[in-house]
Amino acid sequence: MKYRSYLVLVLAAAILLAGGFLAGRSASAAGTTPGTDADPLVSKSYVDQYVQWLPIMVKAGQTLTAEGGTELVLRSGKATAVESGGAGLADVTSAKDLLRGVNVPLNHLLLVPRTDGRGLKAVVDSWVLVRGAYAIQ
């Protein structure tokens, strides 16, 4: 008889736990779904500015200046480095600094360490991949 009472008690506890689990799942599913327009994981403007590589056409004679943390890749054309106060662009691919007037190699990852006017100047029309904030003058 004692065994039967114990078995009933264990079964009742299991049913209550399963019911609570199912109720909790349906309650959490009733809210907004993460990653949708109603509840984005990140904003579109953040993705556009900091995550996504944007192909930018820089016309001959124009200068692309970038904020600190911006990444640049010269994909086609010809451009020279624009520095600020003796400090250049960090060429991550070749592990060196590109100082003013130095030709920017094609397909090298460049990092702009600070927001102080660094960037690149197009010698001919050039395509540059940009990830981060920038301005063209």
- In whole angstroms, give the CA distance from residue 94 to residue 109: 9
pLDDT at 4: 73
Instruction: With a cut of 60, say whether residue 29 has pLDDT above it.
Output: no
- Burial (CB count within 10 angstroms: exposed 0-12, middle 13-18, buried 19+), residue 104: buried
Sorting pLDDT into bands at 50, 70 and 90, what band is 24? low
pLDDT at 51: 74
- Residues 49-72: what's their mean pLDDT? 92
The pTM assigned to this predicted structure is: 0.67
Instruction: With a cut of 80, say whether residue 7 has pLDDT above it.
Output: no
Give the sign of the dihedral formed by CA 101, CA 63, CA 53, CA 39. positive
Q: What is the pLDDT of residues 81-116, one digit of tens each?
A: 998 877 889 999 999 999 999 999 999 999 999 999
The mean predicted confidence, pLDDT, of the chain is 85
Give me the percent of the chain exceeding a pLDDT of 70.
Answer: 88
